[in-house]
Amino acid sequence: MTLCKKGTIWAGVLVYVVLLVPAYSQSMFHTLGWISSSSSVEQTFRYPQLTESIYSSNRHQLIWLQPHDRQVFEDIIEMVVLAEVSPFFEQRLQKLHALRSSEQYYQYDLVATDLMLAFLSYRELLRENKNTWLYGQGLPDDWGDPPPNIVGEFETSVQSSSLTEFLMTLGPNSQSYRDYQSAIDKMQLAINDELALYSPDALIRVGDLIPQKEVLFARLQLAGLTTPLSVKEKDWYGKDLRSIIKRFQTQHGLNADGVIGPKTVEWLNFPIEDRIHRLALNAERSRLWPMQRSALVVVNLPSFDLNYYFRGEVAFSSRVIVGKQKRKTPMLEIKMDSLVLNPTWNVPPKIMREDIIPILRYNPGYLSERGIQVIKGWADPVVIDHGAIQWNRVNAKTFPFRMRQLSGSYNALGAYKFNTPNRRAIFLHDTPAKYLFDKQSRAFSSGCIRVQHADKFAYTLAKTQGFRKNNISPVGQQANARIPLKRRLPVHLIYKTSWVESGRIYFRDDIYGYDTRPKSPSLAIKR
């Protein structure tokens, strides 16, 4: 990757020092002769004692002797730097570059080992902070020590001369991670190019003259779309170029109509630096995403889509509707345990207070129109006569009752509910508002996930779970007819705003603002 000065080779240095009385303090590396008395490099260590311990266990030998190992490690750190989750990693990577350029090999080795410990700590603690660190909040000043078992794996790889293999497990073994690296490498080649913005004055359709041809073709190239010479030679917008524009639109989650309009222009002009940042950030997020595809449902919130994998293949896919900005769908790892046919809907108190009660103040008949009952409570579902309630005098915040919508054509959950028990009460379901699936951006719900082809999803689940199809039809079924799955199905709700597929780079809008770079100065590591 560009930030790393590839190809730098220095002679392998191997030092054996036998100490009668080892000095396990900050003076140990001075005693070894690795650091001069005027050097302050030890003061920058996050884990000075652990670093000393590792070299002691390795009989005071240098660790980063192989150029390939150094390069792989620097590339791994650079990915974190480009993701911009903490200035600490950028500071340390710059230090490594400076030490390498000045041929201070011993100090390079020590800084690299201490940085490895910091990275291992970050990597292992990432799952505990999976919804914060890589989603706009960044890392704290001090994120703790690396777990002893992971440090042990690192030490074992060093002592068994298998450091290369260990490094590969930190990211490069993943094809997805390598695809992100490759895409970033290509974009970094163009980062210093002075590329003008593409700014047509009007919509561009087939038959129109193409303004700023060269700028358009260069910006398509950034998305991995090469324009043939035969197309470049034309001054007007032809069908061949429209096919390329449609692919560009598909890669950016736009309506693939082939018309170069405002949203297409906006994505054409999306800055290279932001593209690189988004790719690196999602490469780091990919550490959190499931790898198995034997039986798994993945909902990617920014792309508004669902994929059900079974035995390594996509068995079902569909558009979905996710939570609006003020009621975001959370990132979750949950399990589906059953299908519910003709479900009733226990209206969440927040929706009752903020949405329904304000409507009732000017339309008291709304509850009857929508088949919604007022009940005493979830544990005591005695129906209250809502017609006797003076809604214009109700304080929504102190309203003591609950609401429940009966199954039927108006029910917000439609005919199918895919039950995924969790404390956030987030689940997948059908919807009567099918027209919303035609929208390009589909963040309309109050947090739960609406599935476009819920009936087909149910039938696919039935087939892969070994049910008979007539068992999962809502026709003739009573309300809340529950069909337990034979095997609970993992469901992952993820936030992926860029990925690489078959060499093409895909981007999606950052619908919840999680790609925003951390702004807090407290993220800086002061040592």
Active site residues: 429, 448
Q: How many CA atoms lie within 13 A of 60 on its CB side?
A: 15
Token pair 């497990």: residue: 169
Neighbours of 369 (CB within 10 A): 9
- The answer to whether the beta carbons of residues 143 and 120 sit under 8 Å apart is no
Of residues 4, 57, 2, 61, the one with CA closest to residue 32:
61
- The answer to whether the beta carbons of residues 455 and 339 sit under 8 Å apart is no
Q: How far apart are CA 341 and CA 480, in angstroms?
A: 6
Cα 90 to the chain's mean position, in Å? Answer: 21
Q: How far apart are CA 499 and CA 176, in angstroms?
A: 8
Q: How far apart are CA 323 and CA 464, in angstroms?
A: 28
DSSP assigned state of 133: I
**How many helices, marked H, and strands, marked E, lie in the chain?**
17, 15
Q: How far apart are CA 350 and CA 326, in angstroms?
A: 12
Q: How far apart are CA 384 and CA 382, in angstroms?
A: 6
Longest dimension (CA), the chain: 92
φ, ψ of residue 318 to 5 degrees: the values are -160, 155
- The answer to whether the beta carbons of residues 454 and 416 sit under 8 Å apart is yes
Q: How far apart are CA 418 and CA 335, in angstroms?
A: 10
